[in-house]
Amino acid sequence: AFSAIIQVTEGDLRKAVTLFQSAHRLKGDEGITESDIQEIAGSVPSSVVSELIKTCHSNSFEKLDQAVTEVLAEGYAASQMILQIHEIIVNQPDLTDNQKSKICERLAIVDKRLIDGADEYLQIMDLLTVIMNQYCTA
């Protein structure tokens, strides 16, 4: 649970205390797990985001479409997903700086579109299609 708190709050002690308080109210003395923290914070589990990135390696639009549909059906917010995708992409050793810049440029465009009220499915597909293109044309 502590590693999840650190990851979700990014060092913000106020957020950490609030999350702990909310988790304690939810779970009481049962014990707080990492998934409890992620659920309360509205964070997408790392395994889900990693699986989306892994699907981008498949070079299959159909598989990507299915994965995005399933993730959004779970109720995860697209804005949170793109934040976590950004973290993964920036730290990917198998992408060149040029590839990362193309992905991050699209990420910024998608973020702006989401803020303006665009469809979450279309925006996540747009971003992941660019990622897939960068992985598969390298």
Domain chopping of the chain, boundaries: 2-41, 46-136
For 99, the token pair is 């590839």
Burial 22-47 (b: 16+ CB within 10 A, else e): ebeeeeeeeebebebbbebbebbbee
pLDDT of residue 10: 81
For 105, phi then psi, to 5°, come to -65, -45
pTM surpassing 0.85? no
Q: What does the pLDDT read at residue 1?
A: 75
> 46-136 maps to which CATH number?
1.20.272.10
What single DSSP character describes residue 45?
P
Residue numbers of the chain with a pLDDT score lower than 50? none
**Per-residue pLDDT, 11:** 82
pLDDT of residue 137: 83
The reported pLDDT for the residue numbered 122 is 97
- At 29 the pLDDT is 79
